[in-house]
Amino acid sequence: MRIVFRLIGTVGLATLMLGMAVGTSAASDVTGHVYVNDNTAGNNTIAGFDRHTDGSLTPIAGSPFAAGGQGTGTLVGSQGALQVSGDGRYLLAADAGSNQISVLRIRPDGTLARVQGSPVYSGGFEPVSIAARGHLVYVANEGNKVTGTGSNYTGFTLNAGGHLTPLSGSTISLPSTANPGDILFNSTGTSLIGVEVGTSDPSTFLIDSFVVGRDGRLTAAPGSPFAAQAAGPFGSEFSPADPTHLYVSNAHGGAGNGSVSALAVAGNGAITSIGTSPYPDGQTAPCWVEISHDGSYLFTVNTGSTSISSYHINADGSLNYLTTTAFKSGAGIRPFDARLDPSGAWLYVVDAALDAVSGFAVSGGSLTELSGSAFPLPAGATPFGIVAI
């Protein structure tokens, strides 16, 4: 009997150890996470994914997570509606349906928990884009199209506990024609840019440039706002390698007339053109911009052409067009915001028509869509923001 029990015990122990090994292997395959602002009608949610070594995505247990505010349940075009705090501990989400910003704590296993006191009033109407740098946060509020009010940039401070506090005297009012598409800091936090997509009137295609003071408040650059170089300036990003180089997609040039502007931002915020900017990609509606972490390559998502264009960024900040990669899902999808993972090996793109995330392997300026792409989002999602950690 002792031999039998010993044998059973040994087999049980071996089975337990095998189970632990399998579990450990599965856990070690997770290299990070991807989050999407679902912008769901009514109670807004954030979809969370485990990111695996092959770039594939699987839902995190418990996803989607309640954001706290409300989404619109409709398509919203903007870049940066979901951001990670400077210390990597929190997600900041635009709740466009309730004029609020939610703060969620990122737990070690990737699950999310709403911070006490969240969400907070965005300072305007329909927040669409968030900029975060250190303890400073700015929000671009789209504004109420009916009343023509509530369009602005508003500042906040974010403390170590994840509490978002309005920054007095920080609000910059915008005209009702602004239709802001993006707001962002450069890597040093000394410059802040806001992009006014505008209307059909060329005089409304503008780029707002500010110097960020030590107190977090903004001073408009001499000559700001600056005229955009083409119709419908939209997504934007500063080079990670050079905080004075800014890139802005031009979305409304018409079929086959898309381009990306390369701009130099001086210490006082003044903006000038780099080289022969803007640089065409021959596509329709380039809207979202992402740059490789070493500052060598730029990717722009062409919503109208359902493709992604790649450029090489030269030492002087000018661009050389390289190639365009189509989505395997075909025409008629709505690719939106895009983000690289921290390693730069994978590019993830939110699609508002598929309610999914498309994933691409990155090799220099070349993209190859993953075999399992696109990865579905929760039912009811109308996404407009994504981050990868």
CATH code, 189: 2.130.10.10
Q: What is the mean pLDDT of residues 65-70?
A: 98
> What is the length of the chain?
389
Q: Structurally, how many domains does the chain consist of? A: 1
pLDDT of residue 24: 37
Domain presence at residue 44: yes
Is the pLDDT confidence value at 5 over 60?
no
Could you give the percent of the chain with pLDDT greater than 70?
A: 93
Q: What is the mean pLDDT of residues 379-386?
A: 94
pLDDT of residue 331: 82
pTM: 0.92
Q: What is the mean pLDDT of residues 25-48?
A: 89
Domain presence at residue 358: yes
| CA 117 from centroid of its chain's CA atoms | 24
Domain presence at residue 127: yes
Domain presence at residue 93: yes
Average pLDDT, rounded, for the chain: 92
Is the pLDDT confidence value at 4 over 90?
no
pLDDT of residue 22: 38
Q: What is the mean pLDDT of residues 320-338?
A: 93
Cα–Cα distance for residue pair 163/157, rounded to 1 Å: 8
CA angle 151, 155, 156 (to 5 degrees): 135
CA dist 210 → 109, 122, 229 (Å): 38, 20, 19
Domain presence at residue 2: no
Is the pLDDT confidence value at 307 over 90?
yes
Q: Which domain holds residue 55?
A: 32-388
- Token pair 């300072």 in the structure block, residue: 123
Whether the CB-CB separation of 155 and 135 falls below 8 Å is answered with no
pLDDT of residue 20: 38
Domain presence at residue 312: yes
Q: Name which residue leads in pLDDT, 332 or 333.
A: 333
Is the pLDDT confidence value at 14 over 90?
no
Domain presence at residue 25: no
Band (27; pLDDT cuts 50, 70, 90): low
pLDDT of residue 145: 86
Domain presence at residue 6: no
Band (213; pLDDT cuts 50, 70, 90): very high
Is the pLDDT confidence value at 11 over 80?
no
Is the pLDDT confidence value at 25 over 70?
no
Q: Which amino acid is at 158?
A: L
Q: What is the mean pLDDT of residues 181-193?
A: 97
pLDDT of residue 384: 92
pLDDT of residue 19: 41
